[in-house]
Amino acid sequence: MATLTSPPESTSPAAAAAASPRTAKKRFLSDAATHVRDLGHRLFVRKALGGYYVNRDAQKARFRDWEHARDAASLAKWSAVNRLDELLPRFVANFEAGGGQVHWARDANEARDIILRLVREAKAKAIVKSKCMTSEEIHLNALLEGEGFGVVESDLGEFIQQLRGEPPYHFVFPCMHVRRDEISDLFKEHLGSEPTDSPEELTMIARRYMRQLYVDADVGITGANFLVAETGQISITENEGNARLTAALPRVHIALSGIEKVVANLDDLAVLLPMLATAGAGQPLTCYNTLYAGPRRDGEADGPEEMHLVLLDNSRTALLADPEQRDALHCIRCGACLNVCPIFKNVGGFTYGTTYQGPIGSVITPHLRGLADWNHLSGASSLCGACTDACPVRIDIHHHLLHNRRNAARTAPSRLEKLGHKVFVQVARRPWLFAGGGWLFRHTLGLAKRLRPPLLKQWLDTRDLPPPPGQSFRAAWKHRSR
């Protein structure tokens, strides 16, 4: 099996930001400025999303009442997350009864240690992996490759990103920013294939390359979309069949999931699965939605001998402890909020520097990785509410961005802002000072525009100041009322 070696993680923008969170804001601002000016990139991303809007609307129209269905989905997740204390142990007991083994991980490092140990115990020579954002969160590939294991991402988009040495651009559409000619060059370089401009032929090149890997791999690693408490099954949603193959052929199946993915029962799943597909990809249902209840049973033709599930906290309980924003844990990772977000479409997925991009990423990243370093994401929003409207489980996304801003102002107020408010209070209390200040402002605005002092530079770089008014509002008011 060919070993795929990614370049060091630090070469990618997202990974570099992750490595030094203190610079996350600076990097965000500079990357955003670069991407916003890249008109070709923006047009390409918009074009790629064009088909999604059409398909999503067509599928939404098949629902007899989409808005009410959102209520049901929202409530299914609300009741599960708010009963996690009861449902999580119930899920685990049922999953273990089905022959699966559960491994609890308080944080990313513990999850990494567990998976590394399992892979070593399995004496893995080859590992095949299907798409799993939680594994991006704990930087699993870099760890396993660093320890000498060959890991191949089997989802086409993730495979392309792995060959490019980049993290996913979008947590559902990992390589939506990459042109077909770039993919053709990439496959030619790494797989020795003939150049082609046909997406179908490119897909078949990856298919042929992957076929034997599934049969040869000893360990398959997957994520999980839902954990069903009632039956102890894990549910995996996909389109390509790569997760099916990953959990069918290798001897050991390891699944990694956040603890918040629990739902109460199969009835809830019957609502959530079609909504995930419609909101996420504009499909009636994604091609494969599979429930796994453990390793191969007696009498079954095939399947893994062992099934392991790693349950990850990694600050999810911190978000759970905030009742105001607890509903952010309802997220089913459909990506609908990214697809409609004007910020995402303009700054692109890498600018966020986070595992989870877009509006929902801006809400949860400060909880997972610290408000002080990641609050700037909450400012990167027009508060238009398109994300909240798109969310199939009705997470109040854009208000949570405001909540994050408020919390940041409370915990670490800006000295400059505080001083500004103090000065304003003093000025506003004295009408003569207020009038004088207004006069000064009107007469220096033009100068400020020309000189661009450091304090205003960032603001002025992207905005045009209107010409200063000839008179104050108070003068204008007096004039009108006469």
Partner 1 sequence: MPESVTEAQRNATARETILSRVREALQVAAPLPHLQTDLAGEMVGQPATAPAAGNGLPSLTVLPEAAARPWLPDGGETLEERLAILTANLEKLRASVERVADVEAAAAVVGELVRQRNWQRVAWHRHPQIDPVVAAGVIACGCEAPAVDDPGFEKRQLETCDAGITACESLVSQTGTILVSSATGGGRGLSILPPVHIVIAPVGAVVATLGDALHQVRQRYDGSLPSLLSFITGPSRTGDIERILVLGAHGPKELFVILVG
Residue numbers 208-227 binding partner 1 by CB under 8 A: 210-212, 214-215
Interface with partner 1 in residues 94-153 (CB under 8 A): 98-99, 102-106, 110, 117
| Contact between 76 and partner 1 per CB under 8 A | yes
Report the nearest approach of partner 1 to the CB of residue 192 (Å). 19
Q: How far is the CB of 474 from partner 1 (least distance, A)?
A: 41
> Which residue, 108 or 380, has its beta carbon nearer to partner 1?
108
Is-contact 287 276, C-beta < 8 A? no
Query: Toward partner 1, which CB reaches closer, 74 or 375?
Result: 74
Q: How far, in Å, CA of 302 to CA of 305, rounded?
A: 9
If one asks whether residue 40 binds partner 1 (CB under 8 A), the answer comes out as: no
Residue list 288-307, contact with partner 1 (CB under 8 A) = 288-297, 299-303
Cα dihedral sign for 98, 100, 105, 108? negative
Q: Which of residues 371-410 bind partner 1 (CB under 8 A)?
A: 394, 396
CA distances from 424 to 412, 421, 443, 456, 458 (A): 21, 5, 19, 18, 22
Does residue 341 bind partner 1 (CB under 8 A)?
no
Nearer to partner 1, 18 or 263 (CB): 263
Pattern of binders to partner 1 over 412-451, x per CB under 8 A? ----------------------------------------
The answer to whether residue 270 forms part of the interface with partner 1 (CB under 8 A) is yes
Q: What tokens appear for 473 in the block?
A: 């509002």
Which residue number, 2 or 428, has a Cβ lying nearer to partner 1? 2
Contacts (Cβ under 8 Å, ≥6 apart) of 311: 88, 92, 102, 103, 104, 105, 257, 258, 259
Quick check: 191 binds partner 1 (CB under 8 A)?
no
Judged by beta carbon, residue 179 or residue 443, the one nearer partner 1 is 179
Enumerate residues 305-334 that contact partner 1 by CB under 8 A. 311, 313, 317-318, 320-321, 323-324, 326-327, 330
Stretch in the footprint of partner 1 (CB under 8 A) among 9-17, 204-212, 403-411, 464-472: 204-212
Q: Tell me how far, at minimum, the Cβ of 65 lies from partner 1, in Å.
A: 4
Beta strands in 162-317 (DSSP E): 219-222, 226-228, 233-238, 252-258, 262-263, 288-292, 306-312
Q: Which of residues 245-264 bind partner 1 (CB under 8 A)?
A: 245, 247-249, 259, 264
| Segments in 247-375 forming alpha helices (H) | 266-281, 316-320, 336-340, 342-347, 358-369, 371-374
- Backbone angles phi and psi of 341, in degrees to 5: -80, 125
Q: Tell me whether residue 104 or residue 434 sits nearer to partner 1 (CB atom).
A: 104
Q: What share of the chain is helix, strand, coil (3-state, %, to 5)?
A: 60, 10, 30
Position 87: which residue type? L
For residues 88 and 380, which CB has a smaller minimum distance to partner 1 in the complex?
Answer: 88
For residue 394 the two structure tokens come to 């009705």
Q: Quote the DSSP letter at residue 17.
A: H
Quick one: which of 16, 33, 69, 133 contacts partner 1 (CB under 8 A)?
69
Asked if residues 201 and 247 have their Cβ atoms less than 8 Å apart, the reply is: no
For residue 233, state whether it binds partner 1 (rule: CB under 8 A).
yes
Per-residue tokens: 323? 């009742």
The verdict on 164 binding partner 1 (CB under 8 A) reads: no
For residue 459, how many other CB atoms are within 10 A of its CB?
10
**Residue from 1, 43, 93, 204 that binds partner 1 (CB under 8 A)?**
204
Spatial CB neighbours of 196, under 8 Å, sequence gap ≥ 6: 184, 202, 205
- Cα 356 from Cα 256, distance rounded (Å): 16
Please identify, using beta-carbon distances, which residue of 305 and 417 lies nearer to partner 1.
305
Residue 271 in contact with partner 1, rule: CB under 8 A: yes
CB of 120 to partner 1, least distance (A): 12
What is the nearest approach in angstroms of partner 1 to the Cβ of residue 23?
30
